[in-house]
């Protein structure tokens, strides 16, 4: 075994991943409807080749050999080795029969979930969910390394080194902080009007506007593209091919607008990972939470910035070809930042969003660290919505059945979304020491912001862990106070509250 052989094997694994990436992108953006059955045969076959190589003899040999000969690896080889070994260690002890059983259970659970949604009845999903939980609980002991609790094991699949101990602290602080801001908005604030948000803007008009905006922000269309889809996503095929997707609503321009800004944040991350990592698992985001911090930096930090919108508003008006000519800038900006509690996570505004995540986190923790009867979950869900957000679902579709994650046994994933919020605000705080962010966003050249993010986050890909990235970039570990301060500042201004 030598490094060249190891990297060649990783390269071939990556070439299969790239092919699957294009097929999946095609599947989501415009594959003929009738083609899905034949396509799934291609997908399965390629995935089989990919999986076989990932656990194949050369990889096993490399893990063993370089464990005792780390000095023979370059920096890139070492970074790749670390990730490959971690993934291998996570899975190597799980009995194959159990992994297969768990995978089959998620297929069944997905079908049950779709059916339960149709009937708005959690009862139809209950058994399949119980099975997903049972099998996940069975797998945890095989995956556990140094984690304190079972739920920590699940968290670390998506956010390495994150713990329940940390999250309990930050989430209780964030929850109390947001609920306090909401109380003050309700008591002392004046909610902005939102009627202009439903004025008609054609898809073409929206596309012209947003394409220019994300280009200004640093998304490179020579190495990407923007397509229409049902469930928006960004996908990094390779260093020079990072694609965005979106959906549009001609009577709610804010959907496509913030959607594309969000996905462009993911895209800018993938486009700016150091190219030397291409062809290895290091050429991807450090974690779900860090990836989300980049999309949310665009969507929530830049997308809430008054100077940014002041600069963009005349171009927005021009793209809308008259529709917003009678609207003042203040009216426009304030309407974008109104806040209203909703039942549905993906429709939540930037103030209430994190509360949706905290509810899921608390429930997942109950499931895996404590004892809770699955049949009681809808009641718990609904009570928490009432307590934290002041709204109560009328049925399970508006409640516990709204998200796909649990049908796929993706327990431990939700916190990433909230971590992205907190990281983004903390990064802004650090960036402001080097960059006059408001001035930059009022200018014609946004590049100092993108360059700062590339220097401190993007370039490293997965070669650093999330906590290491945040510490190095901001000088401290995760601190949720920056998010609270930021939300307070933005919403108090829009709601005309003098702090």
Is the Cβ of residue 237 or residue 469 nearer to a second copy in the bound state?
A: 237
**Bridge partners, 243 (sequence order):** 225, 235
Query: Does the annotation list 356 as a binding residue?
Result: no
Is the Cβ of residue 15 or residue 197 nearer to a second copy in the bound state?
A: 15
Residue with tokens 């009681």: 376
Options 86, 147, 241, 403; binder of a second copy; rule CB under 8 A: 241
Options 1, 23, 99, 307; binder of a second copy; rule CB under 8 A: 23
Q: At closest approach, how far in Å is the CB of 19 from a second copy? A: 5
Neighbours of 30 (CB within 10 A): 11
Question: Among residues 3, 131, 159, 263, which one is catalytic?
Answer: 263
Options 215, 240, 432, 447; binder of a second copy; rule CB under 8 A: 240
Is the Cβ of residue 35 or residue 436 nearer to a second copy in the bound state?
A: 35
The pair of structure tokens assigned to 362 is 């608390």
Phi-psi region of 218 (alpha: psi -120 to 50; beta: other; left: phi over 0): left
Is the Cβ of residue 18 or residue 91 nearer to a second copy in the bound state?
A: 18
Options 22, 197, 380, 497; binder of a second copy; rule CB under 8 A: 22
Q: What is the per-residue binding string for a second copy in 258-287, x denoting contact by CB under 8 A?
A: --------------------x---------
Query: Does the annotation list 187 as a binding residue?
Result: no
Is the Cβ of residue 121 or residue 284 nearer to a second copy in the bound state?
A: 284
Q: At closest approach, how far in Å is the CB of 65 from a second copy? A: 24
Q: At closest approach, how far in Å is the CB of 15 from a second copy? A: 4
Site for a second copy, residues 367 to 396, rule: CB under 8 A:
none
Pairing between β-strand 224-228 and β-strand 234-238 as defined by DSSP bridges: unpaired
Is the Cβ of residue 11 or residue 115 nearer to a second copy in the bound state?
A: 11
Pairing between β-strand 234-238 and β-strand 241-246 as defined by DSSP bridges: antiparallel
Query: Does the annotation list 292 as a binding residue?
Result: yes
Is the Cβ of residue 30 or residue 67 nearer to a second copy in the bound state?
A: 30
Q: At closest approach, how far in Å is the CB of 280 from a second copy? A: 13
Q: Is 263 a catalytic residue?
A: yes
Residue (of 107, 167, 111, 88) closest to 409 by Cα position: 107
Options 77, 192, 224, 393; binder of a second copy; rule CB under 8 A: 224
Tell whether residue 179 is a contact of a second copy (CB under 8 A): no
CB–CB of 23/46 below 8 Å? yes
For CA atoms 360, 362, 367, 371, give the dihedral sign: negative
Distance CA 192, CA 139 (A): 50
Options 4, 32, 433, 444; binder of a second copy; rule CB under 8 A: 32
DSSP letter (8 states) at residue 343: S
Distance CA 186, CA 196 (A): 22
Residue (of 483, 29, 472, 467) closest to 237 by Cα position: 29
Q: At closest approach, how far in Å is the CB of 53 from a second copy? A: 11
Distance CA 98, CA 341 (A): 41
Options 128, 153, 155, 237; binder of a second copy; rule CB under 8 A: 237
Q: What is the per-residue binding string for a second copy in 34-63, x denoting contact by CB under 8 A?
A: xx-xxx-xx--xx--x--------------
Neighbours of 211 (CB within 10 A): 17
Angle in degrees, 0-180, between the axes of helices 123-143 and 150-158, rounded to the nearest 10: 90
Give Cα separations from 344 to 340, 352, 358, 374, 398 (angstroms): 11, 11, 14, 21, 7
Sheet containing 234-238: order of strands: 224-228, 241-246, 234-238
Distance CA 324, CA 473 (A): 40
Site for a second copy, residues 91 to 150, rule: CB under 8 A:
none
Tell whether residue 429 is a contact of a second copy (CB under 8 A): no
CA atoms within 13 A on the CB side of 51: 7
Residues touching a second copy: how many (CB under 8 A)? 35
Residues in binding site for Zn(2+): 262, 266, 292
Q: Known catalytic residues? A: 263
Residues that bind a second copy (CB under 8 A): 11-12, 15-16, 18-19, 22-23, 26, 30-35, 37-39, 41-42, 45-46, 49, 221-225, 237-241, 243, 278
């Amino acid at each position: 075994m030598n490094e060249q052989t190891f990297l060649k094997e990783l390269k071939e694994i990556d070439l299969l991943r790239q092919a699957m990436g294009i097929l999946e992108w095609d599947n989501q953006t415009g594959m003929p409807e009738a083609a899905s059955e034949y396509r799934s045969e291609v997908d399965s076959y390629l995935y089989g080749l990919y999986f076989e190589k990932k656990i194949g003899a050369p990889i096993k040999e490399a893990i063993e050999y370089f464990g005792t000969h780390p000095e023979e690896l370059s920096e890139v080889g070492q970074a790749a080795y670390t990730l490959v070994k971690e993934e291998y260690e996570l899975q190597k002890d799980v009995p194959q029969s159990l992994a297969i059983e768990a995978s089959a259970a998620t297929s069944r659970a997905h079908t049950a979930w779709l059916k339960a949604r149709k009937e708005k009845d959690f009862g139809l999903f209950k058994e399949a969910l119980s099975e997903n939980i049972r099998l996940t609980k069975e797998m945890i002991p095989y995956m556990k390394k140094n984690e304190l609790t079972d739920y920590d094991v699940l968290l670390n699949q998506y956010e390495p080194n994150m713990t329940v101990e940390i999250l309990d602290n930050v989430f209780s602080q964030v929850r109390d902080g947001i609920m306090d801001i909401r109380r003050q908005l309700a008591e002392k604030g004046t909610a902005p009007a939102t009627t202009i948000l439903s004025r008609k803007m054609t898809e073409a008009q929206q596309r012209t506007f947003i394409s220019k905006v994300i280009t200004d922000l640093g998304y490179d269309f020579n190495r990407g593209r923007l397509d229409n889809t049902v469930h928006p996503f960004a996908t990094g095929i390779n260093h020079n091919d990072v694609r965005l997707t979106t959906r549009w609503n001609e009577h709610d321009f804010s959907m496509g607008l913030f959607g594309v800004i969000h996905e462009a944040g993911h895209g800018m991350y993938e486009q700016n990972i150091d190219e030397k990592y291409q062809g290895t698992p290091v050429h991807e985001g450090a974690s779900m939470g860090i990836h989300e911090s980049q999309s949310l930096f665009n969507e929530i930090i830049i997308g809430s910035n008054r100077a940014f919108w002041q600069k963009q508003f005349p171009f927005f008006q021009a793209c809308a070809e008259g529709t917003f000519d009678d609207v003042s800038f203040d009216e426009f900006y304030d309407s974008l930042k109104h806040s209203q509690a909703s039942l549905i996570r993906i429709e939540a505004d930037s103030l209430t969003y994190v509360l949706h995540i905290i509810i899921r986190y608390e429930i997942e923790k109950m499931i895996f660290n404590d004892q809770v009867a699955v049949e009681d979950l809808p009641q718990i869900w609904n009570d928490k919505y009432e307590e934290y957000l002041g709204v109560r679902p009328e049925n399970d579709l508006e409640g516990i059945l709204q998200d796909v994650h649990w049908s796929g046994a993706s327990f431990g994933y939700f916190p990433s979304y909230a971590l992205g919020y907190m990281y983004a605000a903390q990064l802004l705080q650090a960036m402001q020491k080097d960059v006059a962010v408001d001035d930059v966003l009022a200018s014609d050249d946004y590049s100092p912001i993108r360059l700062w993010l590339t220097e401190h986050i993007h370039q490293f890909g997965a070669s650093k862990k999330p906590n290491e990235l945040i510490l190095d970039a901001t000088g401290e570990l995760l601190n949720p106070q920056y998010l609270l301060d930021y939300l307070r500042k933005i919403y108090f201004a829009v709601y005309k509250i003098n702090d």
